[in-house]
Every structure is written in C-alpha cells, then in structure tokens.
Amino acid sequence: MNADMMNGLPKARHVIVKEAVVAASRAEVWRAWTTSEGAMTFFAPKANISLAIGGPYEVYFDPADERMGTKGLKILSYLPEEMISFQWNAPPDMPVVRRELCWVVVQFSDAGDGLVKVRLTHLGWKEGEEWDKAFNYFQRAWDFVFDNLKRRFSDGPVDWGKS
C-alpha cells in the first residue's frame, strides 16, 4: 500500500475538515450553500450557483476582479439537504493549485432542536511547496467562512460593504 494512503483514504494531513453547529433549519442552511442568493449572505459578495450536476459553483470574493473567485468551477454531486460537492481552486498567486483543482464536500445533519451541523471536507491535495502553501491558506480561510456562516444565522447576512 502507498505510504501516503491508509485504508484507501488520504492521510489526515491531506484533508481539511471544518465543522460548525448553526442555529437554523437544515433547509435554510442548505439554501445558504446551494443558491447564489444564499452564498452572498455569508460566503462572498457575489455568487453564481446553479444547483445541478455540472452547474456552476462560482463565488467571487472581489466582485470587481473575477480572478479572486471560483469562475468556471462546477458542482460535482449533491443530495438535497444532506450533501453537496464542488470543485475548488486556489488564489491566483498559487497557479499550480488553481489550475489542477481540489474538491469540497459539505454535509448537513441535524444537531438537535433547531440546530444543524455543517461539516466541510476539502480534498484532492497533492505534494509540493505550493500545495503546502495552499493547504495552510485554506486551513485559515475555511475558518473565516465558517465564522461568517455562524454569524449569518445569529446576526443576519454579512454586510459586505462593511467588511
């Protein structure tokens, strides 16, 4: 067996996992991740998401510069209100990772009365200095996204004009 594989799965250092419990219905959290309007309440100020296999999963962190987003990336799979997976890239200053892509799986499960657990798994990591840089970048970036997600359901949508 490949030393980098364990039970057919990548070692933990090659996977980013983030979890949060959100005070909302599963349907509300699902819409936040799977619609353009929902994503713009916590993820990024501009989005183009069409819930279909092969549909766009594009979020733009700087609406004036589409290079600062996920233009051209696609939805890979979904199970309504349970899971969505989509392609993911890296910022333009990491061209190798941006070109070769990773993928993200977001899962939704009940966590008690009026609570939803959201689990994000970021997969597809390769070896190399730029890949390590991207991995470290996304360890922090997903924390920011999850903080915004929790605030979106406790305090309301992000006001991107104040960010």
pLDDT at 68: 82
Own/partner pairs for 91-97, CB < 8 Å, 24+ apart? Answer: 91/137, 92/67, 92/68, 94/130, 94/133, 94/134, 94/137, 95/130, 96/128, 96/130, 96/131, 97/130, 97/131, 97/134
How many alpha carbons lie under 13 Å from residue 150 in its C-beta half-sphere? Answer: 12
pLDDT at 13: 60
pLDDT per position as a tens digit, 57-79: 999 988 887 778 889 999 999 99
Question: What confidence category does residue 163 fall into, taking pLDDT thresholds of 50, 70 and 90?
Answer: low
CA angle, 163 then 15 then 9, to 5°: 160
131 touches 4 (CB < 8 A): no
pLDDT per position as a tens digit, 25-42: 999 999 999 999 999 999
**9-13, 34-38, 103-107, range with the lowest pLDDT:** 9-13
Predicted TM-score of the model (pTM): 0.89
Higher pLDDT, 54 or 67: 54
pLDDT at 161: 84
In the chain, what are the domains?
12-155 (3.30.530.20)
Query: Rounded mean pLDDT of the chain?
Result: 91
Show the tokens assigned to 55.
């549909």
pLDDT above 90 for 104:
yes
